């Protein structure tokens, strides 16, 4: 589904992605973790070419993203993206946020787009908030609307860029629940997150990045419990500084 | 004469408001375009038309512009009885559009880059990003200064008296020189300017209220 072949990226002199090789198959859930500045978000954003790569190639669903002949609009329509700060359109209601792209890009009629939007709002538990504007929604609600907005395009791949980092602790779970059910339905997902509990429960593989490089790829227990690399061990021990919390969450 | 003056002033106001908003929007899209030549032309436009007095442009379109056209066209324009009004509309439009575009540009700068990214990542084309995501937010954000600018443009219609477009200020001067009843005519004109400007301000305030989105204005839908 997604294949990175020796992808490299520089921001001016800074080498932010170093020789990335990664293959993600259909239906797989990949969690990318690592310290800040490691290039996790950048890696994610290269998949729909919000950030172009400078060297190498990325093949997404058969489309070569560096090829100038690739129709970027078509590529992006197949890839849903959820951002850390939700970024709903502030001048549109929840339902209008969701129906905009399906109507304009997919050419759906207003009625069909709204039916689909309502179904998705129901799915994220917000059908009663359809006419609310973003400022009238809590952070968790906004992020769930943002997820519904991405899903309305019926994408083949969903990208999540720290979807819970800007949320109050109490609101994180409602968003993670939506993501978990999405993973169970077989959606191909690439998730940048620090939610180790979510990663353990849902991820097929975990990618650990540091300083622009992929240090380790493995199953959640491999990375979280038995990491090989010194840097991974260091990072994990700092993440599990409060182990009681993540364990009690697991049992719930 | 006063009635005709009011009529012409209203025509100038309505026409230039519409054309300068349209032209200003096109210019601002050029100025924030990623295509260098468009950006350059847009910036050049603003620098030329904003830094030269509006009165100059009105005179330009009346006296100079017909000379720049092929002889027969120019003669036709000069002979056209409504040409002063048209020249006035052109002059006011190019002047006001430069301010409009700069005000809208400040609105664009106030929109977080992420809005563009979201629109882009959902597959919207550039034009669609502007139409549905960026422009509506730009107009909302800049409504107060934009409104002030439109009132300013309204007052500028009086400059068209310089090319004897028969608008209100020109009419009062005519009345003064023909009948010496300048006080009456000027008082009526003053009243008209104040009233219409107040109406414009009221409309803008209503529009602001109407477009305002806040936490309390939530219409509770059927759960």
Check A90 against B213: CB less than 8 A apart.
Answer: yes
- Tally Cβ neighbours within 10 Å of residue B142: 20
pLDDT tens-digit profile of B163-219? Answer: 989 999 999 999 999 999 889 999 999 999 999 999 999 999 999 998 888 766 554
User: DSSP secondary-structure letter at B129?
Assistant: I
Say what the pLDDT of residue A248 is: 46
- CA dist., res. A14 & res. A11, Å (int): 5
Say what the pLDDT of residue B167 is: 92
Residues near A28 by beta carbon (within 8 Å), at least 6 away in sequence: A1, A188, A189, A204, A205
For residue B222, which of A153, A217, A130, A39 has the smallest C-alpha distance? Answer: A130
Average confidence (pLDDT) over B28-36: 92
Say what the pLDDT of residue B212 is: 84
Is the pLDDT score of A118 beyond 80? yes
Query: Which residue ranges make up each domain of chain B?
Result: 2-222
pLDDT tens-digit profile of B91-103? Answer: 999 999 999 999 9
Give percent of chain B above pLDDT 90: 81
Minimal Cα–Cα distance from A75 to chain B, Å? 8
Q: Is the CB of residue A146 less than 8 Å from the CB of residue B114?
A: no
| pLDDT band per the 50, 70, 90 thresholds, residue A241 | low
Which of B118, B123, B221 is opposite residue A77, by nearest beta carbon?
A: B123
Minimal Cα–Cα distance from B124 to chain A, Å? 6
Question: What kind of fold does domain B2-222 have according to CATH?
Answer: MetI-like fold (1.10.3720)
Which of A50, A85, A153 is opposite residue B120, by nearest beta carbon?
A: A50
User: DSSP secondary-structure letter at B161?
Assistant: G
Of A68-72, A168-172, B131-135, B216-220, the poorest mean pLDDT is in B216-220
Check A135 against B117: CB less than 8 A apart.
Answer: no
Say what the pLDDT of residue B59 is: 96
H-helix segments, chain A: 40-47, 72-77, 94-104, 110-123, 139-151, 169-184, 196-202, 220-224, 230-239, 243-251
Is the pLDDT score of A249 beyond 60? no
pLDDT tens-digit profile of A158-199? Answer: 999 999 999 988 889 999 999 999 999 999 999 999 888 899
Q: Is B113 exposed, middle or buried (0-12, 13-18, 19+ CB in 10 A)?
A: exposed
Say what the pLDDT of residue B218 is: 53
Give percent of chain B above pLDDT 70: 96
Q: Is the CB of residue A156 less than 8 Å from the CB of residue A61?
A: yes
| pLDDT band per the 50, 70, 90 thresholds, residue A251 | very low
**CA distances in angstroms from A226 to A172, A210, A233, listed in the order given:** 27, 17, 8
A150 touches chain B (CB under 8 A): yes
A77 touches chain B (CB under 8 A): yes
Check B123 against A91: CB less than 8 A apart.
Answer: no
DSSP states of A37-93: TSSHHHHHHHHTTSS--SEEEEEETTEETT-TTS-HHHHHHTEEEE-TT----TTS-
Which of A128, A129, A133 is opposite residue B213, by nearest beta carbon?
A: A133
For residue A82, which of A67, A95, A97, A72 has the smallest C-alpha distance? Answer: A97
**β partners of residue A161:** A192
Give percent of chain A above pLDDT 70: 95
The angle formed by the CA atoms of residues B173, B177 and B178, to the nearest 5 degrees, is: 115
Is the pLDDT score of A112 beyond 90? yes
In the numeric block, which tokens belong to residue B163? 């090319």
Q: What is the mean pLDDT of chain B?
A: 92
Average confidence (pLDDT) over B70-93: 91
The region that residue B107 occupies, defined by phi over 0 for left and psi between -120 and 50 for alpha, beta otherwise, is alpha
Is the pLDDT score of A136 beyond 90? yes
| ipTM for the predicted complex | 0.84
Check B214 against A89: CB less than 8 A apart.
Answer: no
Q: How many residues in chain A?
A: 252
Is the pLDDT score of B112 beyond 60? yes
Which of A50, A87, A133 is opposite residue B115, by nearest beta carbon?
A: A87
Check B122 against A48: CB less than 8 A apart.
Answer: no
Is the pLDDT score of A65 beyond 70? yes
Is the pLDDT score of A244 beyond 80? no
Chain B residue numbers touching A133 (CB-CB < 8 A): 213, 218
Average confidence (pLDDT) over B77-83: 88
Average confidence (pLDDT) over A46-60: 94
Q: Is the CB of residue A1 less than 8 Å from the CB of residue A53?
A: no
Q: Is B74 exposed, middle or buried (0-12, 13-18, 19+ CB in 10 A)?
A: middle
Of A113-117, A154-158, B79-83, the poorest mean pLDDT is in B79-83
Count contacts between A and B (CB, < 8 Å): 75
Say what the pLDDT of residue A225 is: 86
How far is residue A51 CA from its own chain's centroid? Answer: 15
Is the pLDDT score of A208 beyond 70? yes
How far is residue B21 CA from its own chain's centroid? Answer: 5
Nearest residue of A to residue B125, measured between CA atoms: A73
Higher pLDDT, A226 or A89: A89
| pLDDT band per the 50, 70, 90 thresholds, residue B78 | confident
Average confidence (pLDDT) over B72-83: 88
Say what the pLDDT of residue A252 is: 40
Beta pairing, strands A205-210 & A213-218: antiparallel
Beta pairing, strands A79-82 & A157-161: parallel
Nearest residue of A to residue B114, measured between CA atoms: A87
Q: What is the mean pLDDT of chain A?
A: 91
């Amino acid at each position: 589904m997604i294949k990175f072949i020796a992808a490299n990226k520089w921001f001016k002199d800074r080498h932010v992605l170093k020789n990335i090789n990664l293959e993600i198959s259909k239906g797989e859930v990949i969690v990318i973790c690592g310290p800040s500045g490691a290039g996790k978000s950048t890696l994610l954003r290269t998949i729909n070419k919000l950030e172009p790569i400078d060297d190498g190639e990325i093949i997404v669903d058969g489309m070569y993203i560096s090829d100038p002949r690739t129709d970027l609009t078509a590529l992006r329509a197949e890839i849903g993206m959820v951002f850390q700060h939700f970024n709903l359109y502030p001048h549109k209601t929840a339902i209008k946020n969701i129906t905009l792209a399906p109507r304009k890009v997919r050419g759906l009629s207003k009625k069909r787009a709204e039916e689909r939007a309502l179904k998705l709002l129901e799915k994220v538990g917000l059908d009663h908030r359809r006419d609310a504007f973003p400022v009238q929604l809590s952070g968790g609600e906004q992020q769930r609307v943002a997820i519904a907005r991405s899903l309305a395009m019926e994408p083949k791949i969903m990208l999540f860029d720290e979807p819970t980092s800007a949320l109050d602790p109490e609101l994180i779970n409602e968003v993670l629940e939506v993501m978990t059910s999405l993973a169970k339905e077989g959606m191909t997902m690439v998730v940048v997150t620090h939610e180790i509990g979510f990663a353990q429960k849902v991820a097929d593989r975990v990618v650990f990045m540091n300083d622009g490089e992929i240090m380790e790829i493995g199953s959640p227990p491999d990375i979280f419990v038995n990491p090989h690399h010194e840097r991974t061990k260091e990072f994990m021990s700092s993440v599990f500084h409060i182990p009681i919390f993540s364990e009690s969450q697991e049992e719930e | 004469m006063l009635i005709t003056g009011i009529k012409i002033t209203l025509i100038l106001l309505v026409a230039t408001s519409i054309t300068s908003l349209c032209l200003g929007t096109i210019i601002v899209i050029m100025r924030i375009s990623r295509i260098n030549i468009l950006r350059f032309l847009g910036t050049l436009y603003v620098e030329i038309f904003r830094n030269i007095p509006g009165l100059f442009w009105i005179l330009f379109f009346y006296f100079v512009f017909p000379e720049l056209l092929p002889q027969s066209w120019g003669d036709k324009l000069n002979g056209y009885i409504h040409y002063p009004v048209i020249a006035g509309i052109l002059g006011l439009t190019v002047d006001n559009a430069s301010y409009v575009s700069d005000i809208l540009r400040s609105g664009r700068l106030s929109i977080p880059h992420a809005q563009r990214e979201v629109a882009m990542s959902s597959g919207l084309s550039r034009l669609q990003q502007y139409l549905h995501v960026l422009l509506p937010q730009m107009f909302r954000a800049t409504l107060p200064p934009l409104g002030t600018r439109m009132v300013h443009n309204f007052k500028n219609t009086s400059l068209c008296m310089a090319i004897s477009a028969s608008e209100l200020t020109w009419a009062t001067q005519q009345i003064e020189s023909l009948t010496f009843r300048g006080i009456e005519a000027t008082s009526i004109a003053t009243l008209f300017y104040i009233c219409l400007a107040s109406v414009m301000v009221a409309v803008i305030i209503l529009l602001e209220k109407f477009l305002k989105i806040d936490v309390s204005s939530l219409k509770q839908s059927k759960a």
